């Protein structure tokens, strides 16, 4: 190591000496002259160690030679090397100060004042994330609930992916295009391999998509394979995905289709194999799942070396485990728990709460009635009281500002109970009529309290409203019934999430054929269907904006809030929550 | 107590340990008892299976629980078909009974593996927790109850009695959360949750032990109070026997049955559901957690298997308790 240091001093001396001869004074282009002289230096210094005594002798007799003069354009503001870093200063300071490590003339990092060095990787305990429900399988293609994704999204990857703020970007694909009317063509990244060592290629990509399309394959991701007919490998790094007619949302769907090895089957349930930055390590059923970093990962190596998903069903126990330092991240805490957690962060989620109105119910058929109902609700009050400020009023379109199709001209309905009463009278309902708001319990934060408030607010404008609570799965079945069926609900308290960041996610609510539709509007349907068939993004944006403008005049919902997700975190965890409800460990780090 | 009234015929000043019981019916052949109880147990289990199967299939639709929230009717129908739900209820029920007879408990729709595998993995954790819990409960309830009962209204009695009433009055999950906050978060002596080593069983077992021990304490204490006020104890004391001798030789024989009964009964109660709430609070990976997940996801085969196995444990525990009585007290005729 000392020899390195000596050699660099030798070279420095040689370069300085040569600089005198070669470039004289005048040069302010430090880099080229150094680079140019380094080849010359190589010949002079070729004898190596024999040259050393001569060279070290040179600065030892300064009196006999005129001092070297270097001109700089700007005077260094200070001679404190730690303070400045401009070239004019460095010309001086780099010759006066030294560093622990330095560089050879051709840029190689070598020992400076240090005789040697090594990276001491601190023995940091793995990151631990608590989930309330254990993933039922580790096959990412089968399930899509958040508790599963916390694990699978770190192990599996997709052709396209999203940045932390929701922008769709390339994942395992290196490029993609709409090839023709019913084909999207994806070119795959080179040099990617699965955790089992097999190569990620077009065959595995095509297999992955076709596996999910299989009639016998049970998957929760069925909405992501809608209008996909099949996939085929064109060559080893190109795969075509065939769609049922023009499918403009295919890139968004592809971002949710995890890639698995060619021929993979049921073994993925317990032994997941993906291409992601982390590899499956162990699964202690009922308790925890662990993963370690993938040393052969094609992308940037993550800083966290291992993580554990720990199953803790009770939310109070989760908070205790966080306080006791056993876990680093819990996914949902209540607004009032934020002061109990060692640290917390919140992010505006892509989730929107609303009361879904069945526009075919006789009393609700007049749009003015539905607008009046919107005006009865004080959303600001709800956000402040029920959610402790961790929510904001929804701008009447199930979208937030950055999403495709958001219409900035559509404004929140104002809180105006008197205006609401007038509007009801205008619509011929001055005497009001009774209503029931249906709520599935135990699913969404503060759903019962919200429904109670809404019922009270509607009662105040002359629509006496009662709240009916349902067990969650029963609610899901019952809320599928629509008018004119007599048991169809007047009003159902619902949430929707828009992890596509795109108005197309609302298609099933807005189009007449859609499963969740209670609007029955042909013009809106036409606009949404056109949006699904249009590849030009600007044009799509405009189509959906027009649709929201129409829906605003004829609302199918009482728009409520856009909710924050609040995360309880340990003090050592450094992470900014993502907008898309994904938990990528590669984007986290641990302070020790 | 039913048995002690008949048994107290020995209070005549004789050495009680020499007592014989010529007037009791001769003991039933033990194998006959076992066969009859197993038969009854099998019938009970069949009822359990029928009830849980019917309830589960009447309450909801697993396809809806599995499907994405915006799934179309066709998608739901496809999942119903994949899950085999598109066949009539009776067909599915008898098919299920037939499968059970061959040891096939069905396939979990969510876990995509045999439901019994999931239950088999979870049962040891529940056995471990309930045994540790009943050990704590039995010690606290029996020893505490006996000591309190032989000196009613003493300071010890009043303090322990107060605690036992408090213990059996609070919901067990609440007590669990309290213990977590005090002993795991504030004092840091034990982990909050999970099953990661010997220390992680302390808090859940203590929670179960305190709640169930409180109930055992109450019954043992009152049995002891009743027993020591009986004439034979007064006579024995008046003859100069010390209290520990009287209790050890005579009282314990009669209250011992109360102890065994209540300890057995509390153990069965744990399997009947009390332990499952504790599993939930402490993230203890037993069959209670499995049931809760199974119910939330409407993963019926897991839910049914877990309930059947828990039911079988209840029946088995009752059988063991009965046989135990039969062995320790010849006056009890288990065949009756």
Domains detected in chain B: 120-328 (1.10.3720.10)
Which H or E run contains A216?
Answer: none
pLDDT at position A393 is 92
- Radius of gyration for the alpha carbons in chain A, expressed in angstroms and rounded: 32
Pull the structure tokens for residue B16.
């009680």
pLDDT at position B24 is 52
A50-64, A136-150, B224-238 — most confident range: A136-150
| Confidence tier at A119 by pLDDT (50, 70, 90) | low
Query: Of the ranges A76-90, A261-275, B15-29, B98-112, which one carries the lowest mean pLDDT score?
Result: B15-29
Interface ipTM: 0.81
Beta bridge partners of A468: A438
pLDDT at position A484 is 83
CA distances from A476 to A273, B61, B163 (A): 33, 10, 45
Beta strands in B195-325 (DSSP E): none
ω into A516 cis (within 30 of 0): no
Q: What does the mean pLDDT of chain B come to?
A: 83
3-state secondary structure A230-257: EEEEEECCEEEEEECCCCCCHHHHHCCC
- Cα first-last separation, chain B: 18
Contacts of B70 in chain A (CB under 8 A): 223, 508-509, 514-516
For A481, name the nearest residue in chain B, comparing CA atoms only: B73
Query: Of the ranges A120-124, A467-471, A485-489, which one carries the lowest mean pLDDT score?
Result: A120-124
Contacts of A317 in chain B (CB under 8 A): 177, 180, 192-193, 281-283
Residue A4 pLDDT > 60, yes or no?
no
Residue A416 pLDDT > 90, yes or no?
yes
Helices B300-328 and B287-297 sit at what angle, rounded to 10 degrees? 150
Q: What is the mean pLDDT of residues A540-552?
A: 94
Place of tokens 């609610």: A475
pLDDT at position B16 is 46
CA distance B305 to B313: 12
Tell me the CB-side half-sphere exposure of residue A489, using CA atoms within 13 A.
30
Cβ–Cβ < 8 Å for B27, B308: no
Beta bridge partners of B62: none
CB pairs under 8 A between A and B: 135
A214 in contact with B at a CB cutoff of 8 Å? no
Cβ–Cβ < 8 Å for B186, B178: no
B188 in contact with A at a CB cutoff of 8 Å? yes
CA distance A220 to B326: 55
**Length of chain A counted residue by residue:** 592
DSSP secondary structure, A495-554, as one string:
EEE-TT-BGGGGHHHHSTTSTT-----HHHHHHHHHHHT---HHHHHHHHHHHHHHHHHS
Q: Do B82 and A137 touch (CB under 8 A)?
A: no
CA distances from A498 to A173, A578, A582 (A): 23, 13, 13
Strands A127-131, A306-311: pairing is parallel
Residue A15 pLDDT > 90, yes or no?
no
CA distance A119 to A301: 16
Q: Calculate the dihedral angle through the C-alpha atoms of A163, A164, A167, A169, rounding to the nearest 10 degrees.
A: 10
Q: Which strands form A228-235's sheet, in the order they lie side by side? A: A173-180, A183-188, A238-243, A228-235
A222 in contact with B at a CB cutoff of 8 Å? yes
DSSP secondary structure, A292-355, as one string:
EE-TT-SSPPPS--EEEEEE---HHHHHHHHHTTS-SEES---GGGTTTSSEEEEEEEEEEEEE
For B183, name the nearest residue in chain A, comparing CA atoms only: A324
A220 in contact with B at a CB cutoff of 8 Å? yes
pLDDT at position A49 is 41
Strands A343-357, A557-569: pairing is antiparallel
Cβ–Cβ < 8 Å for B146, B246: no
Tell me the CB-side half-sphere exposure of residue A437, using CA atoms within 13 A.
28
CA distances from A66 to A61, A62, A94, A149 (A): 11, 8, 21, 71
CA distance B261 to B321: 8
Q: Calculate the dihedral angle through the C-alpha atoms of A292, A297, A300, A303, rounding to the nearest 10 degrees.
A: 10
CA B118 to chain A, closest CA, distance in angstroms equals: 8
pLDDT at position A200 is 96
Q: pTM (2 decimals)? A: 0.77
Q: Can you say whether the dihedral through the CA atoms of A546, A550, A553, A559 is positive or negative?
A: negative
- Radius of gyration for the alpha carbons in chain B, expressed in angstroms and rounded: 25
Residue A19 pLDDT > 60, yes or no?
no
pLDDT at position B26 is 54
3-state secondary structure A457-509: HHHHCCCCEEEEEECHHHHHHHCCCCCCCCCCCCEEEEEEECCCCEHHHHHHH
Residue A14 pLDDT > 70, yes or no?
no
Q: What is the mean pLDDT of residues A494-510?
A: 88
Cβ–Cβ < 8 Å for B278, B207: yes
DSSP secondary structure, B115-170, as one string:
HHHHHHHHHHHHHHHHHHHHHHHHIIIIIHHHHHHHSTTSHHHHHHHHHHHHHHHS
The percent of residues above 90 in pLDDT, for chain A, comes to: 58
| Confidence tier at A29 by pLDDT (50, 70, 90) | very low
Q: How many helices (H) does chain B have, and how many strands (E)?
A: 16, 0
Q: How many helices (H) does chain A have, and how many strands (E)?
A: 16, 21
Residue A113 pLDDT > 60, yes or no?
yes
- Cβ neighbours for A228, distance < 8 A, ≥ 6 positions apart: A209, A213, A241, A242, A243, A244, A247, A250, A253
3-state secondary structure of A438: strand
Mutate to test the interface with A, among B63, B72, B107, B190 (most CBs of A within 10 A): B72
Query: Of the ranges A173-177, A450-454, B161-165, which one carries the lowest mean pLDDT score?
Result: B161-165
B189 in contact with A at a CB cutoff of 8 Å? no
pLDDT at position B228 is 84
Q: Do B185 and A310 touch (CB under 8 A)?
A: no
Residue A124 pLDDT > 50, yes or no?
yes
CA distance A190 to B1: 82
CA distance A274 to A280: 9
- B242 class by beta-carbon count within 10 Å (0-12 exposed, 13-18 middle, 19+ buried): exposed
Q: Do A473 and B192 touch (CB under 8 A)?
A: no
CA distance A312 to B100: 32
pLDDT at position A111 is 81
Interface of A with B in 283-302 (CB under 8 A): 284-288
3-state secondary structure of B304: helix
CA distance B246 to B269: 33
Mutate to test the interface with B, among A473, A475, A478, A493 (most CBs of B within 10 A): A473
Q: What is the mean pLDDT of residues A341-369?
A: 92
Q: Do B70 and A220 touch (CB under 8 A)?
A: no
Residue A35 pLDDT > 60, yes or no?
no
Strands A573-574, A589-590: pairing is antiparallel
pLDDT at position B329 is 66
Helices A537-553 and A522-532 sit at what angle, rounded to 10 degrees? 160
pLDDT at position A582 is 92
Q: Give the residue from B303, B130, B108, B266 showing the smallest Cα distance to B204.
A: B130
Q: Give the residue from B106, B130, B165, B159 showing the smallest Cα distance to B306.
A: B106
CA distance B195 to B204: 10
Pull the structure tokens for residue A163.
């940045």
CA distances from B59 to A470, B54, B287 (A): 12, 8, 21
Residues of chain B with pLDDT under 50: 1-21, 335-336
Q: Give the residue from B261, B264, B282 showing the smallest Cα distance to B272.
A: B264
Region of residue A286 (left: phi > 0; alpha: psi -120 to 50; beta: else): left
- Cα first-last separation, chain A: 30
**Length of chain B counted residue by residue:** 336
Interface of B with A in 34-73 (CB under 8 A): 59-61, 64-73
CA distances from A523 to A327, A365, A505 (A): 51, 17, 18
For A506, name the nearest residue in chain B, comparing CA atoms only: B70
Residue A41 pLDDT > 70, yes or no?
no
Beta strands in chain B (DSSP E): none
CA distances from A439 to A36, A234, A364, A448, A566 (A): 77, 50, 19, 7, 23
Beta bridge partners of A589: A574
Cβ–Cβ < 8 Å for B183, B204: no
């Amino acid at each position: 190591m000392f020899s390195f240091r000596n050699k660099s001093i030798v070279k420095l001396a040689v370069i300085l000496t040569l600089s005198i001869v070669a470039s004289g004074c005048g040069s302010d282009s430090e880099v080229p002259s150094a680079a140019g002289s380094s080849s010359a230096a190589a010949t002079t210094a070729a004898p190596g160690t024999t040259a050393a005594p001569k060279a070290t002798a040179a600065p030892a007799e300064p009196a006999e030679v005129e001092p070297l003069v270097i001109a700089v354009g700007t005077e260094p503001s200070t001679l404190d090397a730690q303070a400045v870093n401009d070239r004019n200063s460095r010309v001086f300071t780099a010759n006066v100060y030294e560093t622990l490590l330095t560089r050879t003339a051709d840029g190689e990092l070598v020992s400076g004042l240090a005789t040697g060095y090594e990276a001491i990787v601190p023995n940091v305990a793995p990151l631990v994330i608590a989930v309330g429900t254990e993933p039922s399988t580790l096959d990412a293609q089968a399930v899509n609930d958040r508790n599963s994704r916390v694990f699978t999204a770190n192990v599996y990857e997709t052709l396209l992916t999203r940045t932390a703020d929701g922008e769709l970007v390339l994942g395992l694909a290196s490029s993609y295009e709409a090839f023709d009317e019913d084909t999207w063509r994806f070119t795959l990244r080179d040099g990617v391999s699965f955790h089992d060592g097999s190569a990620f290629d077009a065959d595995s990509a095509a297999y992955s998509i076709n596996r999910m399309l299989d009639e016998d394959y049970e998957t929760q991701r069925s909405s992501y394979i809608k209008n996909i007919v099949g996939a085929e490998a064109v060559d080893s790094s190109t795969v075509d995905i065939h769609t049922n007619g023009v499918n403009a949302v295919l890139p968004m769907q592809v971002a949710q289709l995890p890639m698995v090895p060619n021929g993979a089957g049921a073994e993925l349930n317990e032994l997941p194999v993906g291409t992601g930055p982390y590899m499956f390590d162990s699964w202690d059923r009922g308790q925890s799942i662990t993963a370690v970093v993938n040393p052969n990962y094609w992308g940037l190596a993550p800083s966290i070396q291992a993580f554990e998903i720990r199953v803790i069903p009770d939310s109070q126990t989760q908070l205790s485990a966080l306080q006791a330092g056993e876990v680093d991240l819990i996914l949902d805490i209540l607004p009032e728990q934020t002061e109990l957690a060692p640290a917390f962060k919140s992010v505006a989620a892509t989730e929107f709460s609303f009361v879904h109105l069945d526009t075919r119910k006789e009393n609700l058929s007049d749009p003015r009635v539905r607008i009046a109902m919107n005006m009865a609700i004080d959303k600001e009050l709800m956000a402040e009281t029920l959610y402790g400020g961790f929510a904001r009023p929804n701008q009447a379109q199930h979208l937030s500002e950055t999403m495709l199709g958001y219409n900035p001209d559509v404004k929140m309905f104002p809180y105006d109970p008197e205006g609401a009463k007038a509007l009801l009278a205008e619509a011929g309902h001055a005497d009001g009529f009774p209503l029931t708001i249906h709520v599935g319990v135990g699913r969404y934060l503060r759903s019962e309290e919200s429904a109670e408030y809404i019922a009270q607010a509607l009662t105040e404008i002359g629509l006496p409203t009662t709240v009916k609570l349902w067990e969650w799965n029963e609610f899901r079945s019952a809320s599928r019934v629509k008018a004119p069926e007599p048991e169809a609900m007047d009003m159902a308290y619902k949430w929707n999430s828009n992890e596509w960041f795109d108005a197309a996610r609302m298609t099933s609510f807005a189009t007449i054929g859609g499963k969740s539709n209670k609007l029955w509007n042909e013009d809106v349907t036409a606009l949404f269907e056109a949006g699904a068939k249009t590849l030009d993004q600007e044009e799509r944006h405009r189509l959906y904006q027009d649709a929201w403008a129409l829906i605003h005049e004829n609302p199918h919902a009482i728009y409520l809030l856009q909710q924050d997700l609040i995360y309880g975190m340990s003090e050592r965890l450094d992470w900014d929550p993502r907008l898309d409800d994904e938990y990528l460990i590669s984007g986290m780090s641990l302070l020790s | 107590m039913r048995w002690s009234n008949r048994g107290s015929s020995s209070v005549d000043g004789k050495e009680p340990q020499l007592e014989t019981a010529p007037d009791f019916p001769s003991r039933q052949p033990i194998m006959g008892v076992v066969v009859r109880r197993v038969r009854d147990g099998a019938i009970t289990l069949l009822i359990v299976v029928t009830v849980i199967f019917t309830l589960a299939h009447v309450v909801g639709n697993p396809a809806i629980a599995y499907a994405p929230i915006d799934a179309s009717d066709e998608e739901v129908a496809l999942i119903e078909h994949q899950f085999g739900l598109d066949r009539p209820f009776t067909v599915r029920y008898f098919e299920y009974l037939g499968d059970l007879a061959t040891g096939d408990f069905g396939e979990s729709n969510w876990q995509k593996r045999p439901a019994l595998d999931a239950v088999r993995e979870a049962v040891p954790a529940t056995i471990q927790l309930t045994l540790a819990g009943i050990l704590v409960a039995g010690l606290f309830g029996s020893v505490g109850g006996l000591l309190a009962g032989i000196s009613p209204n003493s300071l010890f009695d009043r303090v322990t009695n107060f605690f036992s009433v408090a213990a059996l009055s609070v919901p067990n999950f609440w007590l669990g959360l309290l213990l977590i906050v005090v002993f795991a978060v504030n004092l840091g002596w034990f982990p909050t949750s999970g099953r990661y080593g010997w220390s992680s069983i302390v808090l859940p077992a203590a929670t179960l032990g305190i709640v169930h021990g409180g109930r055992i304490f109450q019954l043992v204490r009152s049995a002891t109070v009743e027993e020591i006020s009986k004439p034979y104890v007064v006579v024995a004391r008046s003859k100069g026997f010390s209290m520990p001798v009287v209790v050890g030789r005579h009282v314990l024989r009669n209250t011992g049955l109360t102890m065994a009964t209540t300890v057995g009964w509390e153990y069965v109660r744990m399997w009947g559901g009390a332990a499952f709430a504790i599993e939930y609070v402490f993230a203890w990976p037993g069959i209670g957690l499995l049931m809760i997940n199974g119910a939330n996801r409407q993963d019926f085969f897991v839910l049914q298997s877990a309930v059947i196995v828990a039911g079988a444990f209840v029946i088995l525990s009752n059988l063991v308790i009965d046989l135990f009585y039969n062995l320790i007290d010849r006056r009890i005729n288990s065949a009756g």
